[in-house]
Each structure stands twice: as structure tokens, then as C-alpha cells.
Amino acid sequence: MARIRTTVDGLVYEDDVEPRMLLVQYLRERLGKTGTVIGCDTSNCGACTVHLDGLSVKSCSVLAVQANGSEVLTVEGLERDGQLHPVQQAFHDNHALQCGYCTPGMIMQSIDLLGDNPDPSEHEVREGIEGNLCRCTGYQNIVRAVQDAAQKMKPGAHASTSSSAAQPVAGGGA
Amino acid sequence: MTTTENPTNAPAPEIGRDRRRKEDRRLITGRTRWTDNQAITGLLHLSIVRSPFAHAEIQGIDTSAAKQVPGVVGVYTAADIGADAVQLPCAWPITKDMKAPQRPALAGSRVNFAGEGVAVVVARSAAIAKDAAELVEVDYAELEPVLDMEDALKDGATLVHPEIGTNANAQWVFDSGEAGSGGSVAEALSAAEKDDDQVVIHRRFRQQRLVPVFMEPRSTVVDPTGEQLVMWSSTQVPHILKTMLALTLGLPENKLRVIAPDVGGGFGGKIAVAPEEVVTLLVARKLGKPVKWTETRSESLLTAHHGRDQIQDLTIAVTKDGIIKGLDVKLLADMGAYLGLVGPGVPILGAFMFNAIYKIPAYRFDCTNVFTTKTLTDAYRGAGRPEATFGIERMMDEVAVELGIEPMELRRKNWIKHEEFPYTTVSTLTYDTGNYEAATDQALQMFDYDGLRREQQERRQRGDVKQLGIGISTFTEMCGLAPSRVLGSLDYGAGGWETASIRMLPTGKAEVVVGVSPHGQGHETAFSQIVADKLGIAFEDVEILHGDTQSSYRGLDTYGSRSLAVGGIAMVKAAEKVIEKAKPIAAHMLEASEDDLEFTGGKFTVKGTDKGVGIADVALAVFAAHDYPEGIEPDIDAHATFDPENFSFPHGTHLCAVEVDTETGFVHLHKYVCVDDVGTVINPLIVEGQVHGGLAQGIAQALFEEAPYDESGTLLSGTLVDYTLPSAADLISFDTANTATPSTTNPLGVKGVGEAGTIASTPAVVNAVLDAVRQYGVKDIDMPTTPFRVWTAINSAKGTAGRGDEADVASPGAGLGSTASDISKGDTQGGHL
Ligand code: FES
Ligand code: FES
């Protein structure tokens, strides 16, 4: 067992974990953060995507012990004062989800993408979310949603949606 | 919103409105109820030991090492929990003499596919269970695998199930001559052979094996601690599962409750009574403790049922000016090692669809289902209909090439004209409505068909490395499964009705309990729209309850694009009953005669006056029940069951342009246009989403996906590294639109949309790929048309045809470069529409 201390969605946790425990297992099984899900065992699907110190990672490819001392942001930590993150809002507005299983990972990856590239072309969005699989939507509305969010998150865009975007946690950046 | 702020005004119609989904809020914030989220104190975890061999005798299982692992509660072989005595159900015995070998929940003495379960480990945690499962020693004596369907049917072939004496599961035949719905194909073909004005064309197509790959891996939790045993499962069919568990295991059905909580995609892949569900139940009952099983993705790819996998032999007789005279279809369908819940019936659903939108005077369909030592096959999005549509739409292009007729023109010559509806087809279905001309004209225009044909010609003439191909698919499908009597005539084990109950709450809100349950379709939104309109209450005031047999005790679940076309109508009927029951009470409240009342916009009014009461007032009145008419119950709740009288028949025209890199074989989607007629649209946003997702899956069959086995019977696509689902970067944006000829067989005029995109798109893409490379002498390319296959096809065709620069680049319009030499060029019609 190894002792780890992490901040997840703004709360500090201290736990003893098995060295082999994956971050996604820690989130789901120990912290009850079941908003983050598992879709594969080969790091292909991206369903488990979270932010680790501001960068998107597939939490099935990170050990819990590697998150020691780090900040983790999951889909459950995006809302601010009952206000959806602009990317969450855009997913809703553009019907970018059906079953919703890929959605948490897709949203976290999209936020990371917009942190790197605030105004991506369709092609850049498609490349940017390539590591996240969706079986339901055919991706078209996801691409629309990401581009829609990009517009709404631009400086000077409508204040009510840009407020949470201004949070540092919302950005990626590599 | 006017509807909530001013309930006395008639709300704006909900049907047809692009409502954002009610479901989204939870899903985008991570507040979800996937089965694997389920945590119960004392929950145990199950891991399954699976056979690495396709076909083997089990000579012994040593569980002693696994049992020693701390935290392991039990290790069981099939016999320990009676799993070998179970016969998992097949609900569709397609013929009286169909062979249905026993399908146990765990293998007892013999395994019949790689991945079949042979033992289980139960432990405190999933990790411990998995570790211990590795320590279970199984002694196998390998047998010959059975992999090739044609070989499997030969005399002396190794038998998957020696006890049934054959690898043939069943043969199912439809002959329009015998059915009286058309002529004899044998006669049509022999007449064509003798007629100089006709040709007979034969083609063999391969429908590769696919995996549904819902994104949420399957999971089951069984809690046996209450009076009713509760099973949560990631299933499309909670009701069927409950009844089948009772029948299969001899449990009293009243002691079972099945819950399908949030379900992360299904696409047919979760229409099952899975061995893992049964094993989890058996272990939970044995231990008296809640038990969870969640599969890994690799387990899912290996053992959750697969789809498609057919060899199709089509023979068509056609006049030289392109009129179809007869169609003969012979199929071999791979069942895999066992029969799934509806597996043997899947290819039979295609029997009614090979004739598609065309007027075909003689038709025969002959399907033999075959056992092999592979994962079983069962429903996958479209189930039988994509296979049929692929067969006929590929064949139409082959005919066009052979005859030198523009491929859309050929289709026009043969399809049912809009003024000919209702039309009874050669396979006995009556298409109520449709307008193929309208959908096609709109699609051609959106696509700029003529412009792309010109560009194609130009690229050909330039000898461009990137050649353009254009593919067509004009499809129809039968959905809204199904009229119960029709299912009965096909020997299906259940009906096709659906139910809905409406519970009017004292505050004027409504709970609608439905028998169908969603796994991404947006039922809660679309159904709320229907009920809101019918009862005249606000969209937000309608709650859709589903997926729990305790609240929704009656239902036949979600598949075959039936939720709206059957379930939606049950809701309409239930709403009508609510209004009927409320009427005498409203009359009493208004001191008026029932005959003088009319109901509009959620309100009963006395005709010709402004006196009225809302449905909410009536709901409150029966709750208080202080004053209501004698002789009736103080209750306006209602329950309705709808059994459709016919299928519904969505149709559409799909056009695909691809760029084929002739140096690398890479196929790039260039443009995709589809115009679908799905009848009345309840929510255009949801319809568009269903089409997008359907297209992606159909295109994936054409270009990316397959589940191949090696010569020892090992699945070669056992992870998402090898089973290549398309990513966003592999696809393009599609141009979609709708025409509408409302169905006349249901009061909403709806047809169903869940499967349309998948059914239509595969042949459009493959036709496009071939259209690009036929000029080099390529005749066919197996799916998926990967760069390697396309490159190989181009190069080997060039090799046999001589030099590449001898390619026929001057063929007319359609770019159908390889017109057959025995067809007079004089018959070529030129190719522009
Ligand atoms: S679970 Fe699939 S990438 Fe992490
Ligand atoms: S919405 Fe179902 S997998 Fe993406």
C-alpha cells in the first residue's frame, strides 16, 4: 500500500492505495466519482479522460500513485455554482451525446483541446478528439459542439457562459 | 415558456419541435447510473475463467490454487452451480425441425468457441477475482475447430455439436411462386437464359462478421437479499430477460425484478439473455450475497454476440433495358457456436427486404444457418436488413455495369412509383406509403450528382492519382417490430405489442410508464413531447419511467426501431384513455353534459362557451375525491397496449462520393448525402442524431471493421487496437435531410429511424469505392475495403488486365469502366440524369 494525497474536483483526499491501482479505479471505486467511466482495457477509447494538473490524461493509463500531489479534475467538477461549463452546455445545445457513455471523456478532452487551440477548424477538432471513441453520434454533433463552445468561450463572448471558462482549470495547454 | 406560465392557453405543439434532450443534464455532469456504478455493502465480484481454445474437451479443472487466494469467497465450475444444466433460451425457432443444441451458462465437458466460460471466481474485489481466475488450471484436449461455413456443411465435416449430427441449424425458404405473391424464380431464370433480350447475372457477396461495440461494457449486479431478487443489468431487454430467467431457471417470475438503469449503447448487442447474467444470478443465490460482474472490453469483443457474417449468392434475371424479371437469393448465415436469443431469425428478417423498393415479379430466398466454433451471432443494428440491402444495392450496381445503364436510372426503372402505394411486394409485405422519387430528387440535388460525375470524368481523363467514385443506395426497411400475428406466423416466441401507462398526479403532472427502455435514443424527450401534446400539459411536466420491471411490469423492450412506432402509439392510446376517463368528471365539475364537452390544449370546455376545466383540475379532483359522479372510479390513470397492424417502411436515398488514392489504396470519404423518409418527425434533432450515428456504423462496416478468426479459431480483433472503430478523424460531416410520407398504419404517422443510416450506408460506400476502381478491371473488393485490399485489388486487376494505361477511362457517365464484353455497347444509355 502507498499513501497518496490528491485534490480531486477541489477536495483534498488522502488514501492508502495498492501500487497497481489505476487512477480511474481510484476515482470510481474509492472516491465514488462514477462520472468517469471505463470503456476499454487498451487505452483506446478515452471514456476515462480526466485532467491531471490541467492536462487531459486517460485515467486508465495513469496509476493512482502517480497522481500523488496532483490536482485531478473530472467531469463532476466542471460545474460552477450550478452553471455548466460552456463545453457541457454546448454538448447539450448541439445534441452531441446519445447514450452519454463517452461524454465525460469527450467533454474533458474537448476542454483540453480548446485550451491548446481556442478556435479549431473542423479538421482540428476531429484530430483533437481522435483518441476518444463514440459509438452513438457519428461525431458530427460533437464537432459542432466543440466549435460552438469555442465561439462562446472567446473573450468578450456572452458573459453568462464564459464565466466558468475563465477558470484556470478549464484550460489545457501542452 | 408559455406552456408553464400560462397553462390555460393552448401550448405550442411539441411534436416536430427540436427540443434539447431532458436526459442530457445528468449525463454531461457525470451523475449517472451505469450498472457498474452500483455499490452495495457486502458486494462480491465475479470473474470468469474462459477457454483459450475454439473447440476442446474439458478434461479437468483444478481450482485449489485459486481458492487459496485471500479474499476469494468461492471458485465454481459449471457443475458446482448447475450452470452446465442450463439451456439458455433461443426465442426464435425459425423452422419446426430447427436444431437447437444446448447452450449452457458455463461449459461442462466441451467448449465450442474461444472465450466460452468454464469456471468462475467470486471475491471481495474485482482485482482479487481476476488474479485468482488466472490460477484456475483447466486441462483441455483440443478438437478441430469449425470455421468455414461451406466446409462445415460438407460430408464428414467436424461437428460443432456431434449430438445434433450436423452443422446445419436450419434452412428457411421463401418462394414467391409457392406463396402466390409472384412467379417462380426457376422459371424466370431459365426463361432469361433462353432470351436474347435478357441477361442472368450472378454475384457472391461476403457480409463480414462485425461486433456491435456499445461503449459501455456489459455489467450485471444481482442482489438476492430481498423478497424479490433484483438484477441490474446493462440490457436492452429487461422484460424479456426477466421472463426468460424465470422460464430458463425455473424461478417464480413474481420473485424477480430486473432493472436496466442507464445503459451505454446497445445496437442490438444487448438483446440477450447472457450466460454471464445467469451465472451471476446463480452465484448470488448460492451465496445469498449481492454479486457484480463487469466485463473488460476484451471480454466483450470476444464473448458478447457478434453480428452479420453471411455468404450471399444472388442471381438476377434482367432485360437488357434494365427491367428486373427475377431474383434468387441463397444465403449461408454463421450462427457461431450456439443460438442466441433471436440469432436464427436475424437473416430471416432480411428475407423480406432483398426485393427492397423494386417491383420484382419472381423471388426466392433460401437461407441455411450454420454452426461454427466462433462467438455466436445475433442482432446488430438493422439485423438482417443491412445484409439484404447490401446484397440488392450492390447487385443493382453490378447490373448497371453489365448493362451499361446509369445506376440511378436503373433503379428508377424498377422502383415502386409514388402513385403505386400502398404496394404489396413479392415477399408479401404491404408498403403503406413512400415516395422514392422525392427523396432521390432532393438527394441528387444536395449532392450535385451531375457535377460530381463530371469531376469524376475529368479525374479519369487526367489519370489523377486520386480517383473519384460515386455510390448509390436507395433503400427501404421494415421496422416497428412488430404485428404480433406476423411474428406468430414466423414462429417467433413472443408478440410485438407495446404498452404505456399514464399516471396523473394530483399536481397535474404526469408519470408515463413505458415498456420500452432507451440506451441513447432520447426516449424521455421524444415521449414527453408526444404525451405533452396529447394531454395538453407542459413538456417539463411529463416524466418518462422505464427500465424497471417493478414500475413497468409489461413491455417487450427496445429493438427493431420499435420504440416510437409501437411504444409511442401505446402512449397516444393511453393518453386518449386518460381523456376519456376524465371527461365524465369534467362534465360533473362543469355541470354540463359530456356530449357538450370538447378537449383541446389540456382543457375540457363546454362547446360555445368559455367555461372549462383543465386536465390538472380533474387530476386534483379525483385525488381529493370529495365530489365526483356516482358509478365511476375516482381515477383517471390509464394503461394501453398497442399491437401494430403492419410494419412501417422508412426509406431513403443515400449518395456517397469517395476519393481513392490509387497509389496507396486509401479511401477518403469525400461527400455523403442522405435524404430519409422516416414519416412524421417528433424531434428533428434526435432524428438527425440517429441518422448520423447509423451512418457511422454502416460506413464502418464498409471501410473499417471486421472480426476475423485465425485458422485455430482465435479471434484476431480481441481489443480496440485491432477492432478498428472509426474515430472522429476517420469520418466527415454528413448532409442529411428528410422527406415525409407519413405512415398510414399508426395515428402519429411515424416510421422509425434507429436503423436507417446503418442499413443504407454500407452499399453506398462500397459502390462508391468500386466505382472509382472498376476502370482498372477491379470487379469486387471484400469489406472492409481497407487500403491494403483496395491497393491489392487495383494492382492485381491491372496485372491481369495488362497495363494500367489500358484502363477504360472513357466509359459513359456512370464511370462504370468495366462494362462486360458480352453486352452490346449499343445498350448503353449514356449516364447523365
Ligand atoms: S478506459 Fe478506454 S482509454 Fe481509458
Ligand atoms: S454518446 Fe454513446 S458512445 Fe458517445
- For B470-482, write each residue's pLDDT tens digit: 999 999 999 888 8
- Check: CB of residue B655 under 8 Å from CB of residue B459: no
Strand order across the beta sheet in which B735-739 lies: B466-476, B651-661, B667-677, B735-739
Question: Is A74 strand, coil or helix?
Answer: coil
pLDDT bracket for residue B179 (50, 70, 90): very high
DSSP SS3 for B89? coil
Q: pLDDT tens, A15-38?
A: 999 999 999 999 999 999 999 999
CA atoms within 13 A on the CB side of B312: 32
Out of A79, A107, A139, closest to residue B728 by CB: A139
Same domain, B100 and B246: yes
Distance CA A40, CA B293 (A): 15
Whether the pLDDT of residue B284 is over 60: the answer is yes
Verify that B191 and B234 share a domain, yes or no. Answer: no
Q: How far apart are CA B725 and CA A52, in angstroms?
A: 27
Residue B659 lies in a domain: yes
B10 pLDDT band (50/70/90 cuts)? low
**Partners of residue B694 in chain A, C-beta under 8 Å:** 138
Residue B189: which CATH number? Answer: 3.30.365.10
A126:B23 CB<8 A: no
Q: Is the residue at B8 inside a domain?
A: no
| Domain regions of chain A by residue span | 2-77, 86-152
Fold of A86-152: DNA polymerase; domain 1 (1.10.150)
Closest in A44, A45, A103 to B28, CB measured: A103
Number of domains in chain B: 3
Cα-based angle B467, B468, B472 (whole degrees, multiple of 5): 145
User: What is the pLDDT averaged over residues B604-613?
Assistant: 94
Dihedrals φ, ψ of B138, to 5°?
A: -115, 130
CB contact (8 A) between residue A104 and residue B217: no
pLDDT at A159 over 70: no
Cross-chain Cβ contact B24/A127 below 8 Å: no
Give yes or no for residue B816 having a pLDDT over 80: no
Beta carbons of A135 and B213 less than 8 Å apart: yes
Q: Which residues have CB under 8 Å from B55's CB, separation 6+?
A: B110, B111, B112, B113, B142, B143, B144, B145, B146, B158, B160, B373, B713
> Using a CB-CB distance cutoff of 8 angstroms, which residues of chain B are in contact with residue A63?
none
CATH 3.40.50.360 assigned to A2-77: no
Helix, strand, coil shares, percent, chain A, to 5: 35, 15, 45
pLDDT reported for residue B344 = 97
Buried-exposed string B551-588: b where 16+ CB fall within 10 A, e elsewhere: ebebbbbbbbbbbbbbbbbbbbbbbbbbbebbbbbbbb
Which residue has a Cα nearest atom 3 of ligand 1?
A: A43
Q: Which of B233, B241, B287 is nearest to B261 (CA)?
A: B233
Stated as kind and residue range, the H or E segment containing B80 is: helix B78-81
What's the mean pLDDT in B323-342? 98
We report the CATH number of the domain holding residue B248 as: 3.90.1170.50
Tell which atom from ligand 1 comes closest to the C-alpha of B720: 2
Cα–Cα distance for residue pair A124/B729, rounded to 1 Å: 9
Atom index in ligand 2 nearest the CA of residue A97 equals 1
C-alpha span between A117 and A111 (Å, rounded): 10
Contacts 24+ apart (CB under 8 A), A77-84: A77/A8, A77/A9, A77/A10, A77/A169, A78/A107, A78/A111, A78/A164, A78/A170, A78/B29, A79/A164, A79/B29, A80/A163, A80/A164, A80/A167, A83/A160, A83/A163, A83/A164, A84/A164, A84/B28, A84/B29
Q: Tell me the backbone φ, ψ of residue B615, rounded to 5 degrees.
A: -60, -30
Is position B149 within any domain?
Answer: no
Q: For residue B609, what is its C-alpha cell?
A: 362557451
Largest CA distance in chain B: 93
Query: Is B423 found in the same domain as B445?
Result: yes
Set of cell numbers at residue B663: 497509389
Confidence of residue A166 (pLDDT cuts 50, 70, 90): very low
Q: What is the mean pLDDT of chain A?
A: 91
Chain A residue with CA closest to B301: the answer is A40
Q: How many helices (DSSP H) and strands (DSSP E) are in chain A?
A: 6, 5
pLDDT of residue B825 exceeding 50: no
Range of the domain at B46: 35-143+217-263+270-303
Q: What is the pLDDT of residue B409?
A: 98
A118 touches chain B (CB under 8 A): no
Residue of A nearest to B732 (CA): A140
Report whether B602 contacts B532 (CB < 8 A): no
Q: Ligand 1, residues A22, A25, A45: which to mutate, most atoms within 8 A of Cβ? A: A45
Among candidate residues B414, B384, B417, B389, the one with its CA nearest the CA of residue B399: B414
Q: Which of residues B595, B624, B642 is at a domain's end?
A: B642
Q: Are B124 and B45 in contact (CB under 8 A)?
A: yes
Q: Is B827 helix (H, G, I), strand (E, B) or coil?
A: helix
Q: Where are the extended beta strands (E) located within A27-172?
A: 49-52, 55-58, 71-73
> What phi, psi does B331 have (nearest 5°)?
-120, 145
- Cβ–Cβ < 8 Å for B531, B667: no
Q: Please give the DSSP secondary-structure letter assigned to residue B819.
A: -
Are residue B636 and residue B689 in the same domain, yes or no?
no
Q: Which three cell numbers stand for residue B497?
A: 405489442
Task: Give domain status of residue B165, yes or no.
Answer: no
| Closest ligand 1 atom to Cα of A48 | 4
| Averaged pLDDT, B578-593 | 97
> What is the arithmetic mean of pLDDT over B297-324?
98
- For B522: left if phi > 0, alpha if psi spans -120 to 50, otherwise beta; the answer is left
Residue A45 contacts B where some CB pair is shorter than 8 Å: yes
Cell of B50: 474462459
Closest CA to B472 of B266, B655, B282: B655
Ligand 2 centre distance from Cα of residue A98 (Å):
5
Same domain, B297 and B324: no
For residue B801, the model assigns a pLDDT of 53
Predicted confidence band of residue B347 (pLDDT cuts 50, 70, 90): very high
- Three-state DSSP class for residue A160: helix
Task: Give the pLDDT confidence score for residue B11 in this predicted structure.
Answer: 59
Give residue ranges with CB within 6 A of ligand 2. Answer: A 97-103, 134-137; B 215, 265, 520
Instruction: Examine residue B160 and state whether it is found in any structural domain, yes or no.
Output: no
How is B555-591 classified by DSSP, letter by letter?
---S-TT-IIIIIIHHHHHHHHHHHHHHHHHHHHHHT
Report, as an integer, the average pLDDT of B687-696.
97
Q: Rg for chain B (alpha carbons), in Å?
A: 28
Residues B510 and B455 in one domain: no
What CA–CA distance (Å, rounded) separates B150 from A113? 50
Q: Give the strand order in the sheet containing B597-600.
A: B597-600, B603-606, B612-614
Question: B286 near B82, Cβ under 8 Å?
Answer: no
Whose Cα sits closest to atom 2 in ligand 2? A99
Indicate if B325 and B400 belong to the same structural domain. Answer: yes
Residue after which a domain boundary falls, among B595, B622, B642: B642
In this structure, what C-alpha cell is assigned to residue B775? 476502370
Q: Are residues B327 and B443 in the same domain?
A: yes
Quick check: A127 contacting B, CB < 8 Å?
yes
Contact (CB<8Å) B214/A47: no
**CB atoms inside a 10 Å sphere around CB B137:** 14
| Residue B487 included in any domain | no
- A25, A34, A44, A102, best to mutate for ligand 1 pocket (most atoms within 8 Å of CB): A44
> Which triple of cell numbers denotes residue B707?
472480426
d(CA B686, CA B564): 12
Residues from chain B contacting residue A38 (CB–CB below 8 Å): 36, 217
State which of B600, B618, B642 marks the end of a domain: B642
> B357 and B432 in one domain?
yes
**Residue B679 DSSP code:** B
Q: What is each CA distance from B301 to A130, B44, B298, B718, B790, in whole angstroms?
A: 21, 24, 5, 6, 26
Residues B297 and B309 in one domain: no
Nearest to A92 among B24, B213, B262 (CB): B24
pLDDT tier, B714 (very low <50, low <70, confident <90, very high otherwise): very high
Same domain as B656, residue B631: no
Residue B12's pLDDT is what? Answer: 81
Is residue A23 lining ligand 1, measured as CB closer than 6 Å?
A: no
Report the SS3 class of residue B741. coil
Name the residue among B574, B573, B603 with its Cα closest to residue B590: B603
| B42 within domain boundaries | yes
Instruction: Kindly determine whether residue A35 and residue B32, on different chains, have CB atoms separated by under 8 Å.
Output: yes
CA B333–ligand 2 middle distance (angstroms): 30
Contacts across the A-B interface (CB distance below 8 Å): 174
Ligand 2 atom at minimal distance to the Cα of residue B264: 2
The pLDDT of residue B357 is above 80: yes
| φ and ψ of B325, to 5 deg | -110, -25
For the CA of A100, the closest atom of ligand 2 is 1
pLDDT number for residue B481: 87
pTM listed for this prediction: 0.94
- In the DSSP assignment, the letter for residue B542 is E
Measured distance CA(B72)–CA(B128) in Å, rounded: 7
Mark whether B801 and B772 lie in a shared domain: yes
